[in-house]
Homo-oligomer: A and B are copies of this chain.
Amino acid sequence: MVKVMLLGQGMAATVFAIGLERIKMGEIEPYGIPLEKYNFPIDIKDIKIVGSVDVDARKVGSTIYEVAKDIYGFNNVPLPLSDIKIYKGIEAGYVKDIFPVESLDMDGYEESLDKFIYILKMLKPDVVIDITTTQHSIPFHDFSLLEKAVLEGRNVIPSQIYAYLTLKYSEEVRKVAYVNMIPAPIANDKGIVKRAFELESLILGDDGATGATPLTADILEHLNERNRKVRSIAQFNIGGNTDFLALINEKRNKAKEYTKGSVVEDILGYDAPHYIKPTGYLEPLGDKKFVAMHIEYISFNGAIDEIIINMRVNDSPALAGYMVDLARLAKYCLENSYYGTVYEINAFYMKKPGPSGSRNISRIVAYNKLLSFLDGIKKFREKIRV
């Protein structure tokens, strides 16, 4: 069994929980889950959500069932979700602008850290998935500096605090995996990854690669393999979910740029002029964002070609589908003694694949790398079994 704890009970975490249960009940096909094309040893049905934390006062103390009802309507929410509790998370002053923060937070910063450790010890997750609201930060690259910052509560964002505490829990209790789906530097923080390795734990991240970025990666690879010279890339994103609302804040938008920007140069080998940014918030679009992209390139004999792409993509389901895989992969790595971080996984699932300094590669190439990695483990297991 894969015991999963969720950080941030927003849209993506909720769709993850709903979809997971519906698949278990045989109600829907497992579409949007990459490894379902591959005969992966851990079944989806073995994933169990053991709990969740959030900082929205309207959610804390409730269950995922209650949150799901507001999104999906009364009748459709799978009943098992009523057993999964939402605990109070750590806010640290970062999301007050987005939603009503837990008013009970007055019990103090230190206490909130203790409580989180307590929840971890109680739920005993194998995998902690961070799907909190985007925050901007820079990596510490040194675990002791991170520790100092966390303890002082200064210049650290919730994701860094959560990752630190999760490793603390790992130190005391059992090995664990921390999967970071948001654009905070966790798997790209050398200090965190090193510490995880020492503790025989695992960090996967950063920033789930759904939506336009991975498709852009594959299209750029497509052009590059034909030696077509990219002259310019413009990519716009607009949506109406909390993620886009959060990006109105200039600092968070920076965080997103940080994970998106590297794709172009990593894949093309030169920094083609580009404008790639989450652009705006437009409430009625909801979770189904609109993406517009324009690419101009030079073909043979100086000819100028153009590609224009427009997408309507449901953001949360795309992420949620990845989470199903990442939970299983994380557990599988721990079981097979892969610690620290695993580039072969990050390269496919993440926008800014850790460890720090890693290159973005085209997704189709990354996919084949991932399959080779998994085949390697499989063969090794078969061998030692004999």
Q: Which residues of A are interface residues toward B (Cβ below 8 A)? A: 15, 18-19, 22, 28-37, 214-215, 218-219, 221-222, 224-229, 231-232, 234, 236, 238, 240, 273-275, 277, 279-285, 288, 290, 292, 294, 296, 298-314, 317-318, 320-321, 324, 362-365, 367-368
Contacts and interface: CB of A to CB of B under 8 A. Distances in A.
A32 B290 contact: no
A245 B231 CA distance: 18
Contacts of A214: 222
B218 A364 contact: yes
Nearest to A319: B300
Q: 8 smallest A-B Cβ distances: which pairs?
A: A32-B300, A300-B321, A292-B292, A19-B301, A303-B314, A303-B317, A364-B364, A300-B317
Contacts of A31: 227-229, 298-300, 302
A300 B227 contact: no
A231 B285 CA distance: 9
A119 to B, nearest CB: 27
A275 B284 contact: no
B300 A305 contact: no
A241 to B, nearest CB: 13
Given A37-B227, A305-B311, 6 more contacts: A221-B364, A232-B285, A275-B279, A290-B294, A299-B321, A303-B317
A379 to B, nearest CB: 20
Nearest to A295: B311
Given A32-B301, A281-B275, A311-B306, A215 B222 contact: yes
Contact of A219 (B37, B215, B310, B362): B215
B225 A37 contact: yes
B30 A227 contact: yes
B321 A226 contact: yes
Question: Of residues A33, A215, A294, which shows the largest number of chain B Cβ atoms within 10 Å of its Cβ?
Answer: A294
A27 to B, nearest CB: 9
